[in-house]
Structure 1
Amino acid sequence: MTNGLRERKKAKTRAAIRDHALRLFEERGYAATTVDQIADAAEVSPSTFFRYFPTKEDVILVDDVDEVLLGAIRAQPAGVPPIEAIRRAMREVFDAMSPEAWEFERRRQRLVLIVPELRMRMLQQMTGAIDLMAGVIAERAGRPDGDFAARVTAGAAVGAMLSVLPTGHIDGVQPADFQRVEQALTLLQNGLPLD
């Protein structure tokens, strides 16, 4: 089997697991759905499930957009300031998302909002998101990994984004919500003027 075919087969299996898990969580509830049920619906073994997702939570919490976004930030021209690079990268990534990808993201975010253990774990993952973004910011600026200023910049950007994303409405994230994210990042980039 060629490497390309193998990778496509793996991506198809991973997508099937996620699709069936999401459907089962919506139909039966998160707590009532087992890994065995997800594996059975996706026609894989439980051990195959765990090769793709270390835990049941990860089926929902692993965000495929993160790596794409980090790559888009990394690809911004060298002279673009960090917050502007994040804003531009987000626009590129989210503009390129298909309606199906947005629907999956909406459903995924809805589950995170209504399942307390998912919501708690997602909040814990924010530190990891800040670490990843700080690494890219430091890399773009020619600073060492773990640079304090890069980490503070990443934390401020993530905080600005979180402050405007919907947390209370049950429909989850919508494409229009990212206009507010762009506005928040622009405000941050401009020094947070309050006048």
Structure 2
Amino acid sequence: MCQTLPVTSLRERKKARTRAELQRHALRLFAERGYEATTVEDIAAAAEVARSTFFRYFAAKEDVVLFDDVDPLFEQALAAVPAGTPLLVALIEAMRATFTGLDEQKRADEELRMRLVRTVPEIAAALRARGAWEVEQTTRFVAPALGRSPDDIEVVTLAGALIGARFAAQTLVAREPHRSYVDTTLEILERLRTGIPLADEPIIGS
């Protein structure tokens, strides 16, 4: 009888665990000491690995914040949405299912990551530099969901709008710190379902 092969190899799973552990310890230290006061050496020591091991997984300290291991969970949730569901509705359902399924600590970690993105200049700069890459990555799950090419201008436009929604959520949370990043992102996506807000609003003029 043939044995079903695992989706990932043992080596890949071990690497994923090490990467996740490095991020978990990094976020804990950032919360306790602050981002600037925490060094790569501190993170490596907390994870009980060598400094060189950290750099095998992350090119720089800011990358440990930008690494998002929730994306695969989101893609699984999106694949589970019934065929025929309008795309934005499907994305909202998948995002809500993904974050509802996270435990309290992981959700807190995600909120901390977004807070660091908003408040630490080098992380914000690194994220801006990755803008085009973020759009390209978003087309990777939008295009197959629609059965369209990732080069389709409408797919790329939608991907850009989704990334814009994330930046808009970060802006609102920066202005109103009591807001949840996840809930604010969902609220913005709900508004986009009816079209671009204010797009047809007449300008007042000077």
Q: 1:186 is matched with which residue?
A: 190
* Aligned 8 A contact 1:35 1:46 in 2: yes
Q: Distance in 1 between matches of 2:120 and 2:81?
A: 36
Q: 1:104 is matched with which residue?
A: 109
* Aligned 8 A contact 1:70 1:133 in 2: no
**Stretch deviating more after TM superposition (140-149 or 17-26):** 17-26
Q: What's the TM-score once normalised by structure 1's chain length?
A: 0.80
Cα pair distance change 1:191/1:32, threshold 3 Å: closer
Shift of residue 96, structure 1, vs aligned partner: 0.9
Whether 2:74 is the aligned partner of 1:69: answer yes
* Aligned 8 A contact 1:83 1:185 in 2: yes
Equivalent positions of 1:32-181 (< 5 A) are: 32-165=37-170, 166-169=173-176, 174=180, 177-181=181-185
Shift of residue 133, structure 1, vs aligned partner: 1.7
Which structure exhibits the higher relative contact order, with contacts defined as CA atoms closer than 8 Å and separated by 6 or more residues? 1
Q: Distance in 2 between matches of 1:130 and 1:52?
A: 23
- State how many pairs are aligned: 191
Whether 2:30 is the aligned partner of 1:25: answer yes
Q: Distance in 1 between matches of 2:9 and 2:141?
A: 28
> Which residues of structure 2 form unaligned runs of 5+?
1-5, 202-206
* Aligned 8 A contact 2:73 2:98 in 1: yes
Give 1:93's aligned amino acid. T
Shift of residue 5, structure 1, vs aligned partner: 6.4
Give 1:71's aligned amino acid. Q
Shift of residue 48, structure 1, vs aligned partner: 1.6
Residues 19-50 of structure 1, C-alpha deviations (whole Å, 9 max, x = no match)? 33223334444334332232122210122212
Give 2:189's aligned amino acid. L
**Stretch deviating more after TM superposition (105-114 or 42-51):** 105-114
Percent same amino acid among aligned pairs?
A: 41
Give 2:77's aligned amino acid. A
Q: What's the TM-score once normalised by structure 2's chain length?
A: 0.76
Shift of residue 178, structure 1, vs aligned partner: 3.5
**Stretch deviating more after TM superposition (90-99 or 177-186):** 177-186
CA RMSD in angstroms, aligned pairs only: 2.9
* Aligned 8 A contact 1:110 1:170 in 2: no
Residues 96-115 of structure 1, C-alpha deviations (whole Å, 9 max, x = no match)? 11111111122222222221
Q: Distance in 1 between matches of 2:45 and 2:20?
A: 14
